[in-house]
Amino acid sequence: MAGWQERLAGVRGVLLDISGVLYDGGAGGGTPIAGSVDAVARLKRSHLKVRFCTNESQKSRGELVALLRRLGFDMAESEVTAPAPAACQVLKARGLRPHLLIHDGLRSEFHQIDTSNPNCVVMADAAEGFTFENMNKAFRVLMGLERPVLIALGKGRYYKETSGLMLDIGPYMKALEYACGIEAEVVGKPSPEYFKLALQELGVEAHQAIMIGDDIVGDVGGAQQCGMRALQVRTGKFRPSDEHHPEVQADGYVDNLAQAVDLLLQHTDP
């Protein structure tokens, strides 16, 4: 593999995944990953543009940013690309009225959306909210529609909390897809539209941007498919087998965000 100088040449903007890169969620809000608070601060003081690009769909952006600020991160709501606001744009553009299969923490993101007489289902990472009753309700709404539309905020398999691995939205999306014989539309990583939105908000071209994430498929593979470069951190849900993934090869593997920022500051030109 080429040296870092070559691999990072021309990078002007950085997209940062949040969960598993900045912090691990868990009881009491979670724990910052060692070195990440300082790494974000250094990145923001540098010549590089920075934006946070998350699939977080349990909490509203406001709640998420408040939590991260409590953990010490310098971050504003306006710096975060999140799937719920992106989904609201889709719903409005297509005149869709969703039945919401979401965590209560996310409801505020949809307060401007008409949810009467639903003609689609929007699902997010509902975690404990993925009860049989809630799943069955969403299933029945879909089966009652002539052309069922299921919009999923991400399709991640799992993520890591301080207590261990947690099922993400993807498995539950697959469950409803199979039950109804349909395919969901994904708003969030690795959807190309979503990465393009984040890039637009970051304000650089794809070839000038690098994604840093802990998900070899959702973060690294998705960003690369949009023409970006991507680093995988060995934190969060990283597993050693990710470095030999059959389909995706990151542009680099780093121990954590701190190391990624060291390399970026050292090997990119102001």
Q: In the set 157, 185, 193, 225, which binds a copy of itself (CB under 8 A)? A: 157
Residue 234 contacts a copy of itself per CB under 8 A: no
Among residues 158, 193, 227, 262, the one that binds a copy of itself under rule CB under 8 A: 158
- For tokens 């709404």, the residue is 141
Of residues 159 and 194, the one with the C-beta less far from a copy of itself: 159
Q: Does position 132 bind a copy of itself by CB under 8 A?
A: yes
Interface size with a copy of itself, residues (CB under 8 A): 31
- Interacting stretch for a copy of itself, rule CB under 8 A, among 10-18, 116-124, 130-138, 204-212? 130-138
Under rule CB under 8 A, residue 177 binds a copy of itself: yes
DSSP 147: S
165 near a copy of itself (CB under 8 A): yes
Q: Is 167 in the site for a copy of itself (CB under 8 A)?
A: yes
Considering only residues 33, 120, 151, 176, which one is a binding residue for a copy of itself as defined by CB under 8 A?
176
174 counts as binding a copy of itself under rule CB under 8 A: yes
CB 8 within 8 A of CB 267: yes
- Of the candidates 147, 99, 148, the one whose C-alpha atom is nearest the C-alpha of residue 126 is 99
DSSP H/E element including 120: strand 120-123
Among 6, 128, 146, 247, binds a copy of itself (CB under 8 A): 128
Residue indicated by tokens 């990710």: 242
Please check whether residue 67 is in contact with residue 30, taking contact to mean a CB–CB distance below 8 angstroms: yes
Stretches 80-88, 160-168, 191-199, 247-255: which one binds a copy of itself (CB under 8 A)?
Answer: 160-168
Phi, psi of 80 (to 5 degrees): -110, 125
The residue range among 22-30, 41-49, 135-143, 262-270 that interacts with a copy of itself, by the rule CB under 8 A, is 135-143
Hey, what are 225's tokens?
């498919």
Instruction: Give 17's contacts (C-beta < 8 A, 6+ positions apart).
Output: 52, 53, 54, 189, 211, 212, 213, 214, 215, 219
Distance CA 220, CA 228 (A): 9
Question: Minimum distance from CB of 214 to a copy of itself (Å)?
Answer: 16
Distance CA 14, CA 81 (A): 13
> Which stretches within the chain are classed as H helix?
4-7, 36-45, 61-70, 83-94, 132-143, 169-180, 192-202, 222-225, 257-267
Cβ proximity to a copy of itself, 17 vs 161, nearer residue? 161
**Binding pattern for the stretch 178-217 against a copy of itself, x by CB under 8 A and - elsewhere:** xxxx------------------------------------
CB of 127 to a copy of itself, least distance (A): 6
Q: Across the strands, what pairs with 205?
A: none
Among residues 73 and 130, whose Cβ is nearest to a copy of itself?
130
Asked if 159 interacts with a copy of itself (CB under 8 A), we say: no
Please give the Cα distance from 104 to 98 (Å, whole number): 15
* Sites of contact with a copy of itself (CB under 8 A): 126-133, 135-136, 139-140, 143, 157-158, 164-168, 170-172, 174-181
